[in-house]
Structures are given as C-alpha cells and as structure tokens.
Amino acid sequence: MTAKLILRDKEYEVKHGMALLDALKKCGVVPESVIATREGEMILDDEILKDGDEVKLIAVISGG
C-alpha cells in the first residue's frame, strides 16, 4: 500500500503512514522547494500520508 508524490513529470511512491516531510526527504526533494497539495488543498510537512493519496508538489520559484 502506497501514497504517490507527483512533481512535474516524476512520480515517487512512498509507504503510507509516513509524514510528508519524511517522504519528501526519502525522495530527495528539498521540502522548502515545494508546496504540497492533496485534492486541491495545501498540506503541511507533518501531514501523515494515507494509502492511495496522490500529493501534487508545486515547485516554488524564488529570485533575487
């Protein structure tokens, strides 16, 4: 049973029951570089991923 993280054209499968922050780190995604949404709602780093979740990661662009 897994949850899915989607960033652009890449998909990462992670175990459900993990916190979003841990899942991002496991996939090599810098947590500060993305905003995570599930079913159109923003979720926070401490959110526990459920079986079948599809979390869309939106890259944050910053400049100076």
Token representation of residue 64? 């100076």
The answer to whether the CB of 60 falls within 8 A of the CB of 36 is no
Q: How sure is the predictor about 25, in pLDDT bands with cuts at 50, 70 and 90?
A: very high
What does the angle CA 38 – CA 16 – CA 34 come to, to the nearest 5 degrees?
A: 40
Residue 61, pLDDT above cutoff 70? yes
| pTM for this model (two decimals) | 0.89
Q: How sure is the predictor about 64, in pLDDT bands with cuts at 50, 70 and 90?
A: low
Q: Whole domain around residue 13: which residue ranges?
A: 2-59
Residue 34 belongs to some domain of the structure: yes
Check residue 31 and give its pLDDT. 94
Q: Exposed e or buried b for every residue in 32-57, given b needs 16+ CB within 10 A?
A: eebebebeeeebeeebebeeebebbb
Residue 64 belongs to some domain of the structure: no
Residue 55 belongs to some domain of the structure: yes
Please state the domain count of the chain.
Answer: 1
| 49-59 pLDDT tens trace | 999 999 999 99
Q: What is the residue whose two structure tokens read 């054209």?
A: 9
Residue 5, pLDDT above cutoff 70? yes
What's 52's DSSP letter?
Answer: T
